[in-house]
Amino acid sequence: MKRVVFLLLLACFCSIGFAQNINWVNRNGALKVVGGKILNSNNIEPQLRGVSLSWSIWGGKKYYNPNVVNWLQSDFNISLLRVSMAVQPDSGYLQNPVEQEKLITKTIDAAIKKGLYVLVDWHDHHANEHLEQSKMFFAKMAKKYVGKPNVIYEIFNEPEKIEWKTVKDYAVEVIKEIRKYDAENIIVVGSPHWDQDIDIVAKDPIKGFNNIAYSFHFYASEPTHQELLMKRADEAIAAGLPVFVTEWGVGEANGDGKFDVEKTEKWFAWMEKNKLSWANWNITDKKETTAILAPGASPAGKWKLDMLTPAGIYIRTQLKKFIK
């Protein structure tokens, strides 16, 4: 592990000192789905790369602010920010809708101001049980952000043990609500079994709407997230399903476990080969493998290298490779 940290630090030092302020939306324009691919306004796959904020409650809540957004853009070189609004847990949207909406819209607005794309994530494992609340929320977001090509609606994070028909029925109702106000921006639909059964989705995708994509999640070191899971995604891509990796981590599915660099590199190369847009999990200082920040990292950004975990150093280094 010491050798891994040393190599990551070495790579990271090579990328220090090149602050970026790229307006990615000016560069790519409005996104669309054509022929099973997410394309920009020039009909090129933009491949957005970035990070996911943690649940908008608990310890991750303090990083929902413009200072962090600005630092992630200028220092990490993100083109995509995922805003993971907690729904069902205590203090989440179901209990505190006004507070949660205020927190995330402040962060979304900061991302828009910096020219980033932003995933508005209904971070709920049981969204089908909260259909009316979801419809109300996304209607408000669509009214507020119509005409802003930055915004991507992620309407169901990681459906648990729910069959595709249930997820699909829920998604169609929410899509209808969004499309009343926003006819164009991309909507990302969840896949069954924590966004893993995307091959099942590919056999029966949603029809009748434009600019719909589907989420796929993996954790690079998770023993069950290896060849068979990659094969499912390959099948979906080959079938023409537009795939968006809205969450992935360097550790295991519980957020902890081993950071296996070799397995992570294999998954990373796979995303690059398939030109998939992605958001890495996650901006938090919780003491676990997939956390990008070390315990006590400032809620104002401007993190020095000793405030990044091995995962954070790795992700920052990878993102900075794409400065151009």
Catalytic positions are 158, 247
DSSP per-residue letters across 109-141: HHHHHTT-EEEEEEE-S-GGGGHHHHHHHHHHH
Question: Which helix (H) or strand (E) covers residue 247, if one does?
Answer: strand 243-249
Q: Which of 57, 68, 58 is nearest to 103 (CA)?
A: 57
- Which residue is listed with tokens 């639909």? 189
In this structure, the strands spanning 49-53 and 37-39 are unpaired
In the chain, how long is the greatest CA-to-CA distance? 54
Q: How many CB atoms are located within 10 Å of the residue 4 CB?
A: 14
The H or E element that residue 42 is part of is none
Q: Which of 123, 112, 127, 125 is nearest to 169 (CA)?
A: 127
